[in-house]
Amino acid sequence: MVHVLKWWQTIKISWSNHTAYRMNFFLQIIGPALVFFFVKYNLWSSIYSDKSVEVIKGYTLSQMIDYHVWAMIVGLLAKGHSAMNLSEDIRLGRISSFLIYPFNFWEFHTASFLSFQILQTFIVSISICLFWSIGILSIPSMSILMTGFLYCLFVSCFWYTLQYLTGLIGFWLEETWILRVILEILTAFLSGAIIPLELYPKWFVSFLEWTPFPYLTYFPIKTFMGQNSELFTSYSVVTIWIIIFCFINHFIWKRGIRLYTGAGM
């Protein structure tokens, strides 16, 4: 019970921190939507406007738009969290106080992630309603929507462990943003966030299935679209990756903390 209270209070504090700046909060909702309209919607509309093109690898225009709206939703829900501050906190010695509190650094960080996810769920719900009300998103059914939500939240845990790892590298590297950018770009292309995986060669897709990438965007999108018949496999694969990354993070933290200098104090 005492532990639950610790976590709950931390989640509440992080929530206040996330929503402290109103403008920032609203931009989080509007930003991705604007990108979607200006880039993806226009791009695919003009590709399909060519009369000879009606279906691309099984996607009609409305299905393609659906795919990309869901990609945006998944991006917000499963891959929204960033450990951008983590490596900076390490480098600038800001984690010192967490080494002294009787609440571990990873616990604090995870609680902060959970509160971020609650916020994202809220933002995503508004976005879905918005896109659905203007008629460019079709929702198969309520139960599929819920299944998609749950799977996305699970994937977000995996994304979190991956982000946490890139943050911990801050113990060794003075700057980790370039690593983060590489990871973002790779993920964007290999996870199906930019174009559906069906557009890649078959052999490449079967190779990708051995990596965690498709589980970050492609499978969650398919779940939202009601086309993921292998939900159990999807959950199992993500679970395995989460366990692997938790172990790596634990090991890296143990090694890294020996190098920590608590700069700036």
Shortest spacing between CB 119 and another protein, in angstroms: 14
Phi first, then psi: give them for residue 56, nearest 5 degrees.
-115, 115
Shortest spacing between CB 193 and another protein, in angstroms: 31
Shortest spacing between CB 16 and another protein, in angstroms: 5
Beta bridge partners of 59: 56
> Is 75:32 a contact under the CB 8 Å cutoff?
yes
**Burial (Cβ within 10 Å: 0-12, 13-18, ≥19) of residue 67:** buried
Segment interacting with another protein (CB under 8 A) among 3-11, 179-187, 196-204, 231-239: 3-11
* d(C-alpha 151, C-alpha 191), whole Å: 15
Can you tell me which residue has the tokens 């370039």? Answer: 178
Shortest spacing between CB 99 and another protein, in angstroms: 5
Nearer to another protein, 200 or 260 (CB): 260
Among 93, 173, 184, 211, contact with another protein (rule: CB under 8 A)? 93
Is residue 265 near another protein by the rule CB under 8 A? yes
> Is 216:187 a contact under the CB 8 Å cutoff?
yes
> Is 226:140 a contact under the CB 8 Å cutoff?
yes
Site string for another protein, 102-141 (x = CB under 8 A): xx--------------------------------------
* d(C-alpha 180, C-alpha 31), whole Å: 20
> Is 166:90 a contact under the CB 8 Å cutoff?
no
Among 63, 96, 125, 211, contact with another protein (rule: CB under 8 A)? 96
Phi first, then psi: give them for residue 8, nearest 5 degrees.
-60, -45
Is residue 142 near another protein by the rule CB under 8 A? no
Shortest spacing between CB 242 and another protein, in angstroms: 25
Is residue 45 near another protein by the rule CB under 8 A? no
Among 34, 99, 130, 150, contact with another protein (rule: CB under 8 A)? 99
Shortest spacing between CB 246 and another protein, in angstroms: 19
- Three-state SS string over 123-188 comes to HHHHHHHHHHHCCCCCCCCHHHHHHHHHHHHHHHHHHHHHHHHHHHHHHCCCCCHHHHHHHHHHHH
Segment interacting with another protein (CB under 8 A) among 1-9, 22-30, 60-68, 211-219: 1-9
Segment interacting with another protein (CB under 8 A) among 38-46, 67-75, 153-161, 256-264: 256-264
**Contacting residues toward another protein, per CB under 8 A:** 2, 5-6, 8-10, 13, 16-17, 20-21, 93-94, 96-97, 99-103, 257-258, 260-262, 264-265
